[in-house]
Amino acid sequence: MTTALFSVAGAVAVVAAVVVVVSRRIVHAALWLVLALGAVAGCFGALQAEFVALVQILVYVGAIVVLVLFALMLTKAPMKPLPELTTGRSSFAAGLAAVLALILGAGVVLAFGNEKIKPVTDGSAKTVGTQIFKNWVLPFEVLSVLLLAALIGAIALSQRKKED
């Protein structure tokens, strides 16, 4: 049952991620990103990592996607597809993505082979929180500053006057 649930969530994540990339409307791409990130949270849930699934939903679906949509609305980005930016490049991009996926897959297989991953003995919220705020506090704070800078940049771009 777990394998089937993980497989379905993984397939939904992959399909939604492809639709994010090929979508011609930026708002539709952001909404498909919600589905892709939610499916990844479903993968974590199927692997019985409920805390990580909840953090995935709260941080990525709840914060990052909302920040992206907020920035899109503040910058008054064009909502209609721009044909001059989206024609003639999709086959090259798809081919390049396939080649990179094969290289990455071959690298993972060569690096790990048939090695089994040992389960974590204690995956509680306390242990994860201790790791984040003791050993990983610098990357955590750098990420918060990056998100703040993106929000300030979106506000600054929305307030910019048009010069003709």
CATH number at residue 127: 1.20.120.1200
Kindly report the pTM of this predicted structure: 0.61
Q: Domain residues for 138?
A: 2-159
How many domains does the chain contain in total?
1
51 within domain boundaries: yes
Domain annotation covers residue 164: no
User: 39 in a domain, yes or no?
Assistant: yes
Phi-psi region of 88 (alpha: psi -120 to 50; beta: other; left: phi over 0): left
Residue at 106 is within a domain = yes
In a domain, 150, yes or no: yes
What pLDDT does 164 receive? 44
Highest mean pLDDT among 4-18, 55-69, 100-114, 123-137: 4-18
How far separated are the first and last CA of the chain, in Å rounded? 61
